[in-house]
Amino acid sequence: MKTANDSYLISYHALRRLIGILGILLPFLCWGVNAFVNYLNLLNNPGLVDISQSQVYEAGADLKSSVSHFYYTTAGPMFTGILITVSIFLFCYNIILPIFRTGN
């Protein structure tokens, strides 16, 4: 029998699954984005960057020794965005979970 809270539980479980997938894929996404930008040399492309206003970008190694080192690469904004998404979800987890358990 379906209740009114079933739609909330399904979306809540989907959010938990999405956060888990983002956490697992974080190092691979960071490595892939960094390697893609470095391979195509996008930050030295005159069509994308005003070379007269910036210095020449020297790409480092695509693979870093730690996931947190991607903060200082071209994948930094994506790295920060995923960490903020996961942290907001985990912060709200203790606030939202009791609501679903009581059914209010």
Which tokens hold the place of 102?
């009581």
pLDDT of residue 104: 53
Residue stretches of the chain with pLDDT short of 70: 1-10, 94, 96-104
pLDDT at 9: 58
What's the confidence (pLDDT) of residue 53? Answer: 85
Residue 53, CA atoms < 13 Å, CB-side half-sphere: 4
Locate tokens 């979306």: which residue? Answer: 11
Nearest to 73, CA basis, from 59, 84, 83: 59
pTM over 0.95: no
